[in-house]
Amino acid sequence: MDNAPGKTLSQTISDQLAEEIVLRRFQPGERLDEQSIATRFNVSRSPVRDALRQLASTRLVEYQPRRGFSVAAMAASDLDALFEASGEIEALCAKLCALRAAPSERKRIEFVHQQAQQAMASGDAKAYAELNEEFHALIYAGARNRTLQDLALSLRQRLAPLRSRGFFVAENRLQHSHVEHEAIVAAMLAHDGEAAAAAMNSHAANSAMNVLQHLRTDTGRPVASVD
């Protein structure tokens, strides 16, 4: 299999499995057999095991002795808590970025936002998802607080499977996301910390609502776990 630029083989497998779990191609409780996955990706079991361990660290899958790895389940309340924590940290990063970022950093954020607009216009959800990650990472860095940056990145990593490109094609989320980014960028360029925080908080809340609506079943059973 071909690796995406800058990604290890295990990370590429991890990303693919994560997206499939989130999109319900695997069900909560379903066993993830290492050999079957290795055969599917035409690789040895070693990178598959590493990929499953990565997913276990994000709580998307769970490991049990003698049973191995299986798809985890998480209650909606647990997802709410993760998204709430991530949203608050991101909002603070946005506020500080609006106040502290250098002109070159603001220009870079604006440029990535413009690239995302082109991806949105062409309906390229994969490109948009990648630019979305860069957009947020630039804001974390622009906050000029390494502790907050590390916290934001850690929480974002845990939620990464729920930010797969599959969610950007559901209910026009791609378009809505870009509009929300527009408000964040405007606040950044205006050096308005409070507006940037409010815009980011709203963006995070809408992202969470989109994911939870997508994952919630009519029966009210637990939804798939997050990273």
Tell me how far apart the alpha carbons of residues 91 and 52 are, in angstroms, rounded to a whole number. Answer: 31
Same domain, 34 and 124: no
Among the candidates 20, 51, 73, a domain finishes at 73
Tell me how far apart the alpha carbons of residues 191 and 2 are, in angstroms, rounded to a whole number. Answer: 42
Q: Is residue 1 part of a domain?
A: no
Same domain, 85 and 57: no
pLDDT tens sequence for the chain (227 residues): 655 555 789 988 998 898 788 777 888 899 999 999 999 999 999 999 999 998 887 778 999 998 899 998 866 677 788 889 999 999 999 999 999 999 999 999 999 999 999 999 998 888 988 899 999 999 999 999 999 999 999 898 878 766 655 555 555 778 888 999 999 999 999 999 999 999 999 999 988 877 777 666 433 444 433 33
Residue 35: which CATH number? Answer: 1.10.10.10
In tens, the pLDDT along 56-92 reads 877 789 999 988 999 988 666 777 888 899 999 999 9
Among the candidates 30, 48, 73, a domain finishes at 73
Among the candidates 19, 40, 73, a domain finishes at 73
Residue 157: which CATH number? Answer: 1.20.120.530
Same domain, 15 and 33: yes
Q: Is residue 226 part of a domain?
A: no
Number of domains the chain is built from: 2
